[in-house]
Amino acid sequence: MEGIIVNYRLAYTKEVVVKVPGLDKRGARKLIGRKAEWKDEKGRVYVGKVTGLHGSSGAVKVKFRAPLPPKSLGKVVVIS
């Protein structure tokens, strides 16, 4: 399943908000606890975990082990 990085959580530099197209709040609830990965152009892999919901539109919070670079906004995250 793929989602798009929508925004950063400002107080927490390792957390981002990810919107998965086609999912509502109920469907997004099933993603909590799953693994998320983002790969940059150089081949580095950033690994994170879906930690909770963000709002009522089906967006989720993903906490990564290392902060993502700013160029990751709008890019695709793979949730497995």
**10-residue mean pLDDT series, the chain (80 residues):** 90 90 93 96 96 93 94 95
Domain residue limits at 13:
2-79
CATH number at residue 18: 2.40.10.190
Q: How many domains does one find in the chain?
A: 1
Q: How many helices (H) and strands (E) does the chain have?
A: 1, 6
- pLDDT for 42 equals 95
- pLDDT for 45 equals 97
Closest CA to 40 of 58, 6, 15, 67: 67
pTM of the predicted model, to two decimals? 0.90
- pLDDT for 12 equals 80
- pLDDT for 63 equals 96
